[in-house]
A and B are shown apart, each in its own frame.
Chain A
Amino acid sequence: MLYCISTGEQILLSDNAASLAVQAFLQMCNLPIKVVCRANAEYMSPSGKVPFIHVGNQVVSELGPIVQFVKAKGHSLSDGLDEVQKAEMKAYMELVNNMLLTAELYLQWCDEATVGEITHARYGSPYPWPLNHILAYQKQWEIKRKMKAIGWGKKTLDQVLEDVDQCCQALSQRLGTQPYFFNKQPTELDALVFGHLYTILTTQLTNDELSEKVKNYSNLLAFCRRIEQHYFEDRGKDRLS
Protein backbone atom coordinates (compact mmCIF):
# COMPACT_ATOMS: atom_id res chain seq x y z
CA MET A 1 0.00 0.00 0.00
CA LEU A 2 1.42 3.29 -1.05
CA TYR A 3 0.59 6.30 1.04
CA CYS A 4 0.83 9.78 -0.24
CA ILE A 5 -0.65 13.16 0.42
CA SER A 6 -4.09 13.71 -1.02
CA THR A 7 -4.01 15.12 -4.46
CA GLY A 8 -6.04 17.88 -5.85
CA GLU A 9 -6.13 20.19 -2.91
CA GLN A 10 -3.14 19.54 -0.80
CA ILE A 11 -0.30 18.00 -2.62
CA LEU A 12 2.74 20.04 -3.51
CA LEU A 13 5.04 19.82 -6.48
CA SER A 14 8.01 18.12 -4.87
CA ASP A 15 5.95 15.58 -2.97
CA ASN A 16 3.99 14.76 -6.09
CA ALA A 17 7.22 14.17 -7.95
CA ALA A 18 8.53 11.79 -5.30
CA SER A 19 5.25 9.86 -5.14
CA LEU A 20 5.10 9.52 -8.89
CA ALA A 21 8.68 8.29 -9.02
CA VAL A 22 7.94 5.54 -6.53
CA GLN A 23 4.76 4.57 -8.33
CA ALA A 24 6.60 4.37 -11.61
CA PHE A 25 9.32 2.27 -10.06
CA LEU A 26 6.87 -0.19 -8.56
CA GLN A 27 5.00 -0.44 -11.83
CA MET A 28 8.23 -1.16 -13.61
CA CYS A 29 8.87 -3.97 -11.18
CA ASN A 30 5.41 -5.34 -11.91
CA LEU A 31 4.38 -5.08 -8.30
CA PRO A 32 0.74 -4.38 -7.60
CA ILE A 33 0.16 -1.34 -5.47
CA LYS A 34 -2.79 0.37 -3.99
CA VAL A 35 -2.50 4.09 -3.59
CA VAL A 36 -4.02 5.59 -0.48
CA CYS A 37 -4.21 9.28 0.11
CA ARG A 38 -4.11 10.77 3.54
CA ALA A 39 -3.86 14.35 4.63
CA ASN A 40 -1.39 13.62 7.37
CA ALA A 41 0.76 11.22 5.38
CA GLU A 42 3.82 13.32 6.08
CA TYR A 43 3.50 12.69 9.79
CA MET A 44 2.73 9.01 9.40
CA SER A 45 5.98 8.39 7.58
CA PRO A 46 8.94 7.18 9.67
CA SER A 47 11.32 9.69 8.20
CA GLY A 48 8.91 12.54 7.73
CA LYS A 49 8.89 12.19 3.98
CA VAL A 50 6.31 10.97 1.56
CA PRO A 51 5.66 8.67 -0.09
CA PHE A 52 6.02 5.57 1.94
CA ILE A 53 4.88 2.02 1.49
CA HIS A 54 3.25 -0.21 4.03
CA VAL A 55 3.85 -3.89 3.39
CA GLY A 56 2.76 -6.44 5.94
CA ASN A 57 4.13 -4.98 9.12
CA GLN A 58 6.92 -2.97 7.55
CA VAL A 59 6.94 0.67 6.66
CA VAL A 60 9.54 2.00 4.28
CA SER A 61 9.75 5.57 3.05
CA GLU A 62 11.56 7.40 0.26
CA LEU A 63 12.75 6.04 -3.05
CA GLY A 64 16.22 4.90 -1.99
CA PRO A 65 15.16 2.66 0.89
CA ILE A 66 12.15 1.42 -1.09
CA VAL A 67 14.43 0.33 -3.92
CA GLN A 68 16.60 -1.57 -1.46
CA PHE A 69 13.60 -3.11 0.23
CA VAL A 70 12.21 -4.33 -3.07
CA LYS A 71 15.62 -5.66 -4.00
CA ALA A 72 15.76 -7.66 -0.80
CA LYS A 73 12.44 -9.20 -1.74
CA GLY A 74 13.94 -10.34 -4.99
CA HIS A 75 12.85 -7.71 -7.51
CA SER A 76 15.51 -5.51 -8.97
CA LEU A 77 15.74 -3.43 -12.10
CA SER A 78 19.44 -2.75 -12.01
CA ASP A 79 20.91 -6.23 -11.79
CA GLY A 80 21.94 -6.22 -15.41
CA LEU A 81 24.26 -3.25 -14.99
CA ASP A 82 27.97 -3.58 -14.42
CA GLU A 83 29.84 -1.69 -11.71
CA VAL A 84 30.65 1.36 -13.78
CA GLN A 85 27.05 1.69 -14.92
CA LYS A 86 25.78 1.33 -11.40
CA ALA A 87 28.11 4.10 -10.32
CA GLU A 88 26.79 6.27 -13.14
CA MET A 89 23.23 5.52 -12.21
CA LYS A 90 23.79 6.50 -8.60
CA ALA A 91 25.58 9.65 -9.69
CA TYR A 92 22.71 10.68 -11.96
CA MET A 93 20.16 9.99 -9.26
CA GLU A 94 22.08 12.28 -6.95
CA LEU A 95 22.18 14.90 -9.66
CA VAL A 96 18.42 14.78 -10.00
CA ASN A 97 17.94 14.93 -6.27
CA ASN A 98 20.45 17.68 -5.85
CA MET A 99 19.30 19.92 -8.67
CA LEU A 100 15.71 19.19 -9.58
CA LEU A 101 14.36 18.44 -6.16
CA THR A 102 16.10 21.38 -4.56
CA ALA A 103 14.92 23.65 -7.35
CA GLU A 104 11.37 22.44 -6.83
CA LEU A 105 11.62 23.07 -3.11
CA TYR A 106 13.11 26.50 -3.75
CA LEU A 107 10.36 27.43 -6.12
CA GLN A 108 7.67 26.27 -3.77
CA TRP A 109 8.94 27.74 -0.57
CA CYS A 110 11.39 30.54 -1.24
CA ASP A 111 9.84 32.30 -4.21
CA GLU A 112 7.46 34.78 -2.70
CA ALA A 113 4.89 34.78 -5.46
CA THR A 114 4.46 31.03 -5.50
CA VAL A 115 4.49 30.80 -1.75
CA GLY A 116 1.75 33.31 -1.29
CA GLU A 117 -0.58 32.10 -3.97
CA ILE A 118 -0.19 28.41 -4.04
CA THR A 119 1.94 26.76 -1.42
CA HIS A 120 0.50 28.22 1.76
CA ALA A 121 -3.02 27.62 0.68
CA ARG A 122 -2.38 24.07 -0.44
CA TYR A 123 -0.23 22.95 2.44
CA GLY A 124 -2.59 24.05 5.13
CA SER A 125 -5.85 23.26 3.40
CA PRO A 126 -7.00 20.26 5.47
CA TYR A 127 -6.50 22.06 8.74
CA PRO A 128 -8.64 24.73 10.39
CA TRP A 129 -7.42 28.24 11.02
CA PRO A 130 -4.93 29.09 12.60
CA LEU A 131 -3.26 25.71 12.32
CA ASN A 132 -2.94 25.94 8.58
CA HIS A 133 -0.97 29.17 8.78
CA ILE A 134 1.26 27.94 11.58
CA LEU A 135 2.15 24.69 9.88
CA ALA A 136 2.85 26.40 6.60
CA TYR A 137 5.13 28.97 8.16
CA GLN A 138 6.94 26.30 10.14
CA LYS A 139 7.61 24.25 7.06
CA GLN A 140 8.74 27.31 5.17
CA TRP A 141 11.18 28.24 7.90
CA GLU A 142 12.56 24.72 7.89
CA ILE A 143 13.09 24.69 4.15
CA LYS A 144 14.71 28.11 4.18
CA ARG A 145 17.17 26.99 6.84
CA LYS A 146 18.08 24.02 4.73
CA MET A 147 18.56 26.14 1.65
CA LYS A 148 20.85 28.45 3.55
CA ALA A 149 22.92 25.56 4.86
CA ILE A 150 23.64 24.22 1.40
CA GLY A 151 24.31 27.62 -0.09
CA TRP A 152 21.14 28.09 -2.11
CA GLY A 153 19.82 30.77 0.20
CA LYS A 154 21.40 33.54 -1.80
CA LYS A 155 20.39 32.28 -5.23
CA THR A 156 17.95 34.22 -7.30
CA LEU A 157 15.15 32.58 -9.24
CA ASP A 158 17.05 33.04 -12.50
CA GLN A 159 20.06 31.23 -11.15
CA VAL A 160 17.88 28.37 -9.97
CA LEU A 161 16.26 28.13 -13.40
CA GLU A 162 19.68 28.11 -15.00
CA ASP A 163 20.70 25.22 -12.76
CA VAL A 164 17.57 23.33 -13.77
CA ASP A 165 18.42 23.98 -17.39
CA GLN A 166 21.91 22.61 -16.91
CA CYS A 167 20.54 19.55 -15.20
CA CYS A 168 18.03 18.92 -17.99
CA GLN A 169 20.75 19.39 -20.54
CA ALA A 170 22.89 16.80 -18.81
CA LEU A 171 19.98 14.36 -18.62
CA SER A 172 19.10 14.97 -22.24
CA GLN A 173 22.66 14.40 -23.37
CA ARG A 174 22.91 11.23 -21.34
CA LEU A 175 19.63 9.90 -22.70
CA GLY A 176 20.50 10.70 -26.29
CA THR A 177 18.33 8.66 -28.60
CA GLN A 178 17.93 5.65 -26.38
CA PRO A 179 14.50 4.65 -25.08
CA TYR A 180 15.69 4.49 -21.46
CA PHE A 181 18.79 5.71 -19.69
CA PHE A 182 20.49 2.36 -19.77
CA ASN A 183 19.29 1.29 -23.13
CA LYS A 184 16.55 -1.27 -23.25
CA GLN A 185 15.60 -1.72 -19.66
CA PRO A 186 14.18 0.90 -17.38
CA THR A 187 15.85 1.34 -14.04
CA GLU A 188 15.18 3.33 -10.90
CA LEU A 189 16.90 6.29 -12.51
CA ASP A 190 14.23 6.30 -15.22
CA ALA A 191 11.52 6.18 -12.57
CA LEU A 192 13.02 9.10 -10.67
CA VAL A 193 13.54 11.26 -13.71
CA PHE A 194 10.04 10.50 -14.95
CA GLY A 195 8.54 11.40 -11.59
CA HIS A 196 10.17 14.79 -11.49
CA LEU A 197 9.82 15.77 -15.12
CA TYR A 198 6.22 14.71 -15.45
CA THR A 199 5.23 16.65 -12.37
CA ILE A 200 7.06 19.73 -13.54
CA LEU A 201 5.36 19.53 -16.90
CA THR A 202 1.87 19.05 -15.62
CA THR A 203 1.65 21.21 -12.52
CA GLN A 204 0.41 24.72 -12.82
CA LEU A 205 2.39 27.34 -11.03
CA THR A 206 2.41 31.12 -11.05
CA ASN A 207 5.02 31.16 -13.75
CA ASP A 208 5.63 28.49 -16.29
CA GLU A 209 9.34 29.01 -16.68
CA LEU A 210 10.23 25.75 -15.01
CA SER A 211 8.19 23.67 -17.40
CA GLU A 212 9.42 25.77 -20.31
CA LYS A 213 12.96 24.80 -19.45
CA VAL A 214 12.09 21.13 -19.57
CA LYS A 215 10.09 21.50 -22.78
CA ASN A 216 13.22 22.67 -24.54
CA TYR A 217 14.49 19.13 -24.63
CA SER A 218 12.41 17.03 -26.94
CA ASN A 219 13.95 13.70 -26.11
CA LEU A 220 13.03 14.21 -22.46
CA LEU A 221 9.43 14.92 -23.47
CA ALA A 222 9.34 11.80 -25.58
CA PHE A 223 10.81 9.84 -22.68
CA CYS A 224 8.05 10.97 -20.32
CA ARG A 225 5.36 10.22 -22.84
CA ARG A 226 6.77 6.78 -23.44
CA ILE A 227 6.82 5.81 -19.79
CA GLU A 228 3.38 7.24 -19.23
CA GLN A 229 1.93 5.23 -22.06
CA HIS A 230 3.75 2.07 -21.29
CA TYR A 231 3.33 1.85 -17.56
CA PHE A 232 0.35 3.87 -16.62
CA GLU A 233 -2.19 3.88 -19.37
CA ASP A 234 -1.78 0.28 -20.31
CA ARG A 235 -2.59 -0.92 -16.85
CA GLY A 236 -5.97 0.65 -17.01
CA LYS A 237 -5.29 3.39 -14.56
CA ASP A 238 -7.58 6.24 -15.26
CA ARG A 239 -5.82 8.84 -13.25
CA LEU A 240 -2.23 9.42 -12.34
CA SER A 241 -2.19 10.48 -8.74
Chain B
Amino acid sequence: MAASLELSCWGGGWGLPSVHSESLVVMAYAKFSGAPLKVNVIDNTWRGSRGDVPILTTEDNIVSQPAKILNFLRKQKYNADYELSAKQGADTLAYIALLEEKLLPAVLHTFWVESDNYFTVTKPWFASQIPFPLSLILPGRMSRGALNRILLTRGQPPLYHLREVEAQIYRDAKECLNLLSNRLGTSQFFFGNTPSTLDAYVFGFLAPLYKVRFPKIQLQEHLKQLSNLCRFCDDILSSYFRISLGGISPAGQDMVDANLQKLTQLVNKESNLIEKMDDNLRQSPQLPPRKLPTLKLTPAEEENNSFQRLSP
Protein backbone atom coordinates (compact mmCIF):
# COMPACT_ATOMS: atom_id res chain seq x y z
CA MET B 1 0.00 0.00 0.00
CA ALA B 2 1.04 3.56 -0.33
CA ALA B 3 3.35 4.97 2.23
CA SER B 4 2.47 8.11 4.09
CA LEU B 5 0.91 10.70 1.84
CA GLU B 6 1.57 14.28 2.75
CA LEU B 7 -0.26 17.20 1.32
CA SER B 8 1.14 20.69 1.52
CA CYS B 9 -1.48 23.34 1.13
CA TRP B 10 -2.80 26.64 2.39
CA GLY B 11 -4.42 26.66 5.79
CA GLY B 12 -8.00 27.17 6.83
CA GLY B 13 -10.30 29.78 8.23
CA TRP B 14 -13.95 30.79 8.47
CA GLY B 15 -14.96 27.23 9.21
CA LEU B 16 -13.12 25.70 6.25
CA PRO B 17 -10.13 23.37 6.36
CA SER B 18 -8.51 25.39 3.61
CA VAL B 19 -9.25 28.70 1.98
CA HIS B 20 -7.60 27.83 -1.31
CA SER B 21 -9.91 26.20 -3.88
CA GLU B 22 -7.48 23.72 -5.33
CA SER B 23 -6.24 22.54 -1.94
CA LEU B 24 -9.84 22.08 -0.86
CA VAL B 25 -10.59 19.94 -3.92
CA VAL B 26 -7.77 17.57 -3.08
CA MET B 27 -8.66 17.39 0.60
CA ALA B 28 -12.31 16.68 -0.18
CA TYR B 29 -11.39 13.96 -2.68
CA ALA B 30 -9.07 12.33 -0.17
CA LYS B 31 -11.86 12.26 2.40
CA PHE B 32 -14.35 10.83 -0.09
CA SER B 33 -12.02 8.08 -1.26
CA GLY B 34 -10.65 7.26 2.16
CA ALA B 35 -7.05 8.12 1.40
CA PRO B 36 -5.00 8.68 4.56
CA LEU B 37 -3.65 12.14 3.95
CA LYS B 38 -1.48 14.06 6.33
CA VAL B 39 -2.03 17.74 5.84
CA ASN B 40 0.81 20.20 6.22
CA VAL B 41 -0.10 23.83 6.30
CA ILE B 42 2.63 25.60 4.45
CA ASP B 43 4.20 28.81 5.44
CA ASN B 44 7.34 28.85 3.36
CA THR B 45 5.99 29.46 -0.02
CA TRP B 46 8.12 30.33 -2.94
CA ARG B 47 6.32 27.44 -4.56
CA GLY B 48 2.93 28.86 -3.79
CA SER B 49 3.56 31.86 -5.96
CA ARG B 50 4.13 29.75 -9.03
CA GLY B 51 0.79 28.07 -8.59
CA ASP B 52 2.25 24.78 -7.50
CA VAL B 53 0.22 24.48 -4.37
CA PRO B 54 -1.22 21.97 -3.44
CA ILE B 55 1.58 19.46 -3.59
CA LEU B 56 1.39 15.80 -2.69
CA THR B 57 4.59 14.19 -1.43
CA THR B 58 5.13 10.50 -1.01
CA GLU B 59 8.41 8.66 -0.57
CA ASP B 60 9.27 8.58 -4.25
CA ASN B 61 7.03 11.13 -5.90
CA ILE B 62 6.16 14.74 -5.85
CA VAL B 63 2.90 15.55 -7.60
CA SER B 64 1.49 19.01 -8.11
CA GLN B 65 -1.80 20.29 -9.58
CA PRO B 66 -5.14 18.89 -8.48
CA ALA B 67 -5.88 16.88 -11.63
CA LYS B 68 -2.57 15.06 -11.45
CA ILE B 69 -2.90 14.48 -7.71
CA LEU B 70 -6.34 12.97 -8.19
CA ASN B 71 -5.01 10.71 -10.93
CA PHE B 72 -2.19 9.63 -8.68
CA LEU B 73 -4.57 8.80 -5.84
CA ARG B 74 -6.73 6.80 -8.22
CA LYS B 75 -3.75 4.77 -9.29
CA GLN B 76 -3.03 4.06 -5.65
CA LYS B 77 -6.49 2.52 -5.44
CA TYR B 78 -8.17 5.43 -3.71
CA ASN B 79 -10.98 5.86 -6.14
CA ALA B 80 -14.14 7.76 -5.36
CA ASP B 81 -15.60 7.19 -8.83
CA TYR B 82 -15.85 3.46 -8.60
CA GLU B 83 -19.59 3.29 -8.89
CA LEU B 84 -19.99 5.76 -11.71
CA SER B 85 -21.06 4.64 -15.15
CA ALA B 86 -19.09 5.62 -18.24
CA LYS B 87 -21.58 8.31 -19.10
CA GLN B 88 -21.36 9.77 -15.61
CA GLY B 89 -17.58 9.79 -15.90
CA ALA B 90 -17.94 11.75 -19.13
CA ASP B 91 -20.37 14.13 -17.45
CA THR B 92 -17.83 14.68 -14.69
CA LEU B 93 -15.22 15.86 -17.18
CA ALA B 94 -17.71 18.14 -18.86
CA TYR B 95 -18.88 19.75 -15.63
CA ILE B 96 -15.33 20.27 -14.41
CA ALA B 97 -14.60 22.06 -17.69
CA LEU B 98 -17.69 24.20 -17.12
CA LEU B 99 -16.51 25.10 -13.62
CA GLU B 100 -13.05 26.07 -14.82
CA GLU B 101 -14.30 28.16 -17.70
CA LYS B 102 -17.25 29.93 -16.17
CA LEU B 103 -16.90 29.96 -12.40
CA LEU B 104 -13.18 30.16 -11.82
CA PRO B 105 -12.63 33.61 -13.39
CA ALA B 106 -15.30 35.12 -11.15
CA VAL B 107 -13.95 33.37 -8.03
CA LEU B 108 -10.45 34.61 -8.84
CA HIS B 109 -11.83 38.08 -9.35
CA THR B 110 -13.74 38.09 -6.06
CA PHE B 111 -10.71 36.95 -4.11
CA TRP B 112 -7.79 38.61 -5.82
CA VAL B 113 -8.78 41.42 -8.10
CA GLU B 114 -11.75 43.22 -6.53
CA SER B 115 -9.86 45.87 -4.57
CA ASP B 116 -12.09 46.04 -1.48
CA ASN B 117 -12.02 42.31 -1.01
CA TYR B 118 -8.35 41.96 -1.79
CA PHE B 119 -7.09 44.62 0.55
CA THR B 120 -9.36 43.91 3.48
CA VAL B 121 -9.59 40.13 3.45
CA THR B 122 -7.42 38.18 1.05
CA LYS B 123 -4.12 40.01 1.37
CA PRO B 124 -4.06 40.17 5.18
CA TRP B 125 -5.01 36.53 5.46
CA PHE B 126 -2.36 35.27 3.08
CA ALA B 127 0.20 37.69 4.44
CA SER B 128 -0.42 36.32 7.93
CA GLN B 129 0.37 32.82 6.69
CA ILE B 130 3.66 33.77 5.08
CA PRO B 131 6.77 34.89 6.94
CA PHE B 132 8.14 38.36 6.47
CA PRO B 133 9.48 39.56 4.01
CA LEU B 134 7.75 37.23 1.58
CA SER B 135 4.43 38.45 2.91
CA LEU B 136 5.03 41.72 1.13
CA ILE B 137 5.70 40.15 -2.23
CA LEU B 138 3.73 36.97 -2.67
CA PRO B 139 0.14 38.15 -2.30
CA GLY B 140 0.83 40.86 -4.87
CA ARG B 141 2.27 38.31 -7.24
CA MET B 142 -0.70 35.98 -6.84
CA SER B 143 -3.03 38.88 -7.45
CA ARG B 144 -1.28 39.82 -10.65
CA GLY B 145 -1.33 36.20 -11.79
CA ALA B 146 -5.07 36.05 -11.25
CA LEU B 147 -5.65 39.30 -13.13
CA ASN B 148 -3.51 38.06 -15.97
CA ARG B 149 -5.42 34.88 -16.24
CA ILE B 150 -8.76 36.62 -16.32
CA LEU B 151 -7.71 39.15 -18.93
CA LEU B 152 -6.02 36.67 -21.19
CA THR B 153 -8.79 34.14 -21.24
CA ARG B 154 -11.72 36.49 -21.19
CA GLY B 155 -10.74 39.87 -22.41
CA GLN B 156 -9.70 39.17 -25.92
CA PRO B 157 -7.93 41.06 -27.32
CA PRO B 158 -5.83 41.89 -24.25
CA LEU B 159 -6.51 45.52 -24.87
CA TYR B 160 -9.95 45.37 -23.28
CA HIS B 161 -10.36 47.08 -19.95
CA LEU B 162 -11.12 45.06 -16.88
CA ARG B 163 -14.48 46.66 -16.30
CA GLU B 164 -15.98 45.30 -19.50
CA VAL B 165 -14.74 41.86 -18.66
CA GLU B 166 -16.04 42.02 -15.08
CA ALA B 167 -19.68 42.24 -16.08
CA GLN B 168 -19.32 39.32 -18.45
CA ILE B 169 -17.55 37.01 -16.02
CA TYR B 170 -20.03 37.63 -13.22
CA ARG B 171 -22.88 36.95 -15.59
CA ASP B 172 -21.22 33.71 -16.65
CA ALA B 173 -20.58 32.71 -13.05
CA LYS B 174 -24.18 33.29 -12.03
CA GLU B 175 -25.37 31.24 -14.98
CA CYS B 176 -22.95 28.49 -14.02
CA LEU B 177 -24.22 28.48 -10.44
CA ASN B 178 -27.79 28.24 -11.71
CA LEU B 179 -26.86 25.33 -13.95
CA LEU B 180 -25.16 23.52 -11.09
CA SER B 181 -28.16 24.06 -8.87
CA ASN B 182 -30.46 22.68 -11.56
CA ARG B 183 -28.27 19.67 -12.00
CA LEU B 184 -28.02 18.96 -8.27
CA GLY B 185 -31.75 19.25 -7.73
CA THR B 186 -32.74 17.67 -4.46
CA SER B 187 -30.23 14.84 -4.32
CA GLN B 188 -27.51 14.79 -1.77
CA PHE B 189 -24.58 14.52 -4.16
CA PHE B 190 -24.27 14.95 -7.88
CA PHE B 191 -24.36 11.25 -8.70
CA GLY B 192 -26.62 9.59 -6.20
CA ASN B 193 -25.76 9.03 -2.56
CA THR B 194 -22.01 8.73 -2.62
CA PRO B 195 -19.69 11.64 -3.33
CA SER B 196 -17.36 11.56 -6.31
CA THR B 197 -14.73 13.65 -8.07
CA LEU B 198 -17.29 16.14 -9.33
CA ASP B 199 -18.55 16.71 -5.80
CA ALA B 200 -14.98 17.36 -4.68
CA TYR B 201 -14.47 19.94 -7.43
CA VAL B 202 -17.77 21.70 -6.87
CA PHE B 203 -17.16 21.79 -3.12
CA GLY B 204 -13.64 23.12 -3.65
CA PHE B 205 -14.86 26.01 -5.76
CA LEU B 206 -18.05 26.84 -3.89
CA ALA B 207 -17.05 26.52 -0.26
CA PRO B 208 -14.61 29.47 -0.10
CA LEU B 209 -17.12 31.59 -1.98
CA TYR B 210 -19.79 30.59 0.47
CA LYS B 211 -17.96 30.92 3.75
CA VAL B 212 -15.36 33.66 3.53
CA ARG B 213 -16.63 37.04 4.71
CA PHE B 214 -16.13 39.68 2.05
CA PRO B 215 -17.14 43.33 1.87
CA LYS B 216 -18.25 43.08 -1.77
CA ILE B 217 -20.39 40.00 -2.06
CA GLN B 218 -22.63 39.99 -5.10
CA LEU B 219 -21.63 36.48 -6.14
CA GLN B 220 -21.91 35.19 -2.58
CA GLU B 221 -25.43 36.59 -2.31
CA HIS B 222 -26.40 34.86 -5.53
CA LEU B 223 -24.96 31.61 -4.18
CA LYS B 224 -26.85 31.97 -0.93
CA GLN B 225 -30.10 32.17 -2.84
CA LEU B 226 -29.44 28.73 -4.28
CA SER B 227 -30.25 26.84 -1.12
CA ASN B 228 -29.49 23.36 -2.42
CA LEU B 229 -25.88 24.33 -3.19
CA CYS B 230 -25.49 25.84 0.29
CA ARG B 231 -26.92 22.71 1.82
CA PHE B 232 -24.50 20.65 -0.28
CA CYS B 233 -21.50 22.55 1.11
CA ASP B 234 -22.73 22.40 4.67
CA ASP B 235 -23.40 18.67 4.41
CA ILE B 236 -19.90 17.93 3.22
CA LEU B 237 -18.34 20.16 5.86
CA SER B 238 -20.28 18.60 8.67
CA SER B 239 -19.94 14.98 7.62
CA TYR B 240 -16.39 14.89 6.32
CA PHE B 241 -14.49 17.67 7.96
CA ARG B 242 -15.52 17.76 11.60
CA ILE B 243 -14.27 14.37 12.62
CA SER B 244 -10.61 14.52 11.70
CA LEU B 245 -8.10 16.01 14.05
CA GLY B 246 -6.15 18.19 11.67
CA GLY B 247 -9.01 20.22 10.45
CA ILE B 248 -10.88 20.38 13.71
CA SER B 249 -9.52 23.70 14.82
CA PRO B 250 -12.40 25.63 13.33
CA ALA B 251 -14.96 23.33 14.93
CA GLY B 252 -12.95 23.13 18.14
CA GLN B 253 -12.67 26.84 18.24
CA ASP B 254 -16.38 27.17 17.89
CA MET B 255 -16.83 24.93 20.88
CA VAL B 256 -14.24 26.79 22.84
CA ASP B 257 -15.92 30.02 21.97
CA ALA B 258 -19.25 28.66 23.10
CA ASN B 259 -17.74 27.49 26.37
CA LEU B 260 -16.09 30.81 26.86
CA GLN B 261 -19.38 32.53 26.33
CA LYS B 262 -21.07 30.38 28.89
CA LEU B 263 -18.27 30.98 31.34
CA THR B 264 -18.43 34.71 30.94
CA GLN B 265 -22.17 34.61 31.42
CA LEU B 266 -21.76 32.68 34.63
CA VAL B 267 -19.10 35.03 35.84
CA ASN B 268 -21.29 37.97 35.04
CA LYS B 269 -24.15 36.46 36.93
CA GLU B 270 -21.95 35.75 39.89
CA SER B 271 -20.57 39.22 39.95
CA ASN B 272 -24.09 40.59 39.82
CA LEU B 273 -24.97 38.45 42.78
CA ILE B 274 -21.90 39.57 44.64
CA GLU B 275 -22.78 43.17 44.04
CA LYS B 276 -26.26 42.65 45.33
CA MET B 277 -24.96 40.93 48.39
CA ASP B 278 -22.54 43.74 48.89
CA ASP B 279 -25.30 46.27 48.79
CA ASN B 280 -27.36 44.34 51.23
CA LEU B 281 -24.45 44.01 53.60
CA ARG B 282 -23.72 47.66 53.41
CA GLN B 283 -27.28 48.66 54.02
CA SER B 284 -28.16 46.35 56.89
CA PRO B 285 -25.28 46.96 59.41
CA GLN B 286 -25.79 50.70 59.15
CA LEU B 287 -29.15 50.62 60.93
CA PRO B 288 -28.04 49.39 64.39
CA PRO B 289 -25.15 51.97 64.72
CA ARG B 290 -27.65 54.78 64.22
CA LYS B 291 -29.76 53.47 67.02
CA LEU B 292 -26.89 53.42 69.51
CA PRO B 293 -26.33 57.18 69.61
CA THR B 294 -29.99 57.76 70.30
CA LEU B 295 -29.88 55.29 73.15
CA LYS B 296 -26.88 57.09 74.61
CA LEU B 297 -28.59 60.37 74.40
CA THR B 298 -31.63 59.36 76.27
CA PRO B 299 -29.85 58.36 79.51
CA ALA B 300 -27.94 61.69 79.34
CA GLU B 301 -31.14 63.53 78.84
CA GLU B 302 -32.66 61.62 81.60
CA GLU B 303 -29.79 62.54 83.86
CA ASN B 304 -30.12 66.14 82.86
CA ASN B 305 -33.76 66.01 83.46
CA SER B 306 -33.25 64.41 86.81
CA PHE B 307 -30.65 67.02 87.76
CA GLN B 308 -32.98 69.75 86.75
CA ARG B 309 -35.67 68.28 88.79
CA LEU B 310 -33.34 68.17 91.78
CA SER B 311 -32.01 71.69 91.52
CA PRO B 312 -35.05 73.85 91.89
Contact = CB atoms under 8 A, between A and B. Distances in A.
A149 B89 contact: no
A88 to B, nearest CB: 7
Contact of A170 (B90, B101, B156): B90
Interface string A70-89: 00000000000001101110
A49 interface: yes
Contact of B156 (A48, A90, A166): A48
Of B89, B93, B148, B156, most A-chain CB atoms within 10 Å = B93
A47 interface: yes
B183 interface: yes
A221 interface: no
Contact of A166 (B93, B98, B183, B185): B93
Given A170-B94, A171-B90, A173-B90, A98 B182 contact: no
Interface in A147-196: 149-151, 166-167, 169-171, 173-174, 176
Interface string B126-151: 00000000000000000001001100
B191 to A, nearest CB: 13
Interface in B275-312: none
A54 interface: no
Nearest to A174: B90
Interface string B107-130: 000000000000000000000000
Given A87-B180, A91-B179, A173-B89, A146 B153 contact: yes
B97 A98 contact: yes
B100 A98 contact: yes
B281 to A, nearest CB: 73
A225 interface: no
Interface string B228-253: 00000000000000000000000000
Given A84-B182, A94-B102, A151-B51, A173 B97 contact: no
B156 A47 contact: yes
A151 B86 CA distance: 27
Contacts of B214: none
Contact of B94 (A84, A92, A151): A92
B204 to A, nearest CB: 16
B75 interface: no
B267 interface: no
Interface string A27-54: 0000000000000000000011100000
A36 B91 CA distance: 37
A136 B65 CA distance: 32
Contacts of A47: 156
A95 B97 contact: yes
Of B90, B91, B149, B158, most A-chain CB atoms within 10 Å = B90
B189 interface: no
Interface in B7-58: 51
Interface string A47-65: 1110000000000000000
Interface string A138-151: 00001001100111
A49 B98 contact: no
A95 B98 contact: yes
Contacts of B180: 87
A149 B153 contact: yes
B186 to A, nearest CB: 12
Given A151-B51, A166-B93, A94 B101 contact: yes
B153 A91 contact: no
Given A94-B102, A99-B97, A146 B90 contact: no
B152 interface: yes
B95 interface: yes
B234 to A, nearest CB: 22
Nearest to B102: A94
A149 B144 CA distance: 11
B87 interface: yes
A61 B102 CA distance: 19
A92 to B, nearest CB: 5
B54 to A, nearest CB: 14
Contact of A49 (B90, B156, B179): B156
A132 interface: no
A83 B182 contact: yes
A241 interface: no
Interface of B: 51, 65, 86-87, 89-91, 93-95, 97-98, 100-102, 145, 148-149, 152-153, 156-158, 179-180, 182-183, 185
Given A90-B179, A98-B100, A151-B51, 10 more contacts: A48-B156, A84-B185, A88-B94, A90-B98, A94-B98, A95-B93, A95-B94, A146-B152, A150-B153, A151-B65
14 contacts: A49-B156, A90-B179, A94-B102, A95-B93, A95-B97, A98-B101, A99-B97, A142-B157, A149-B145, A170-B93, A173-B86, A174-B90, A174-B91, A176-B87
Top 5 nearest A-B pairs (CB, nearest first) are: A170-B90, A91-B94, A95-B97, A87-B179, A91-B98
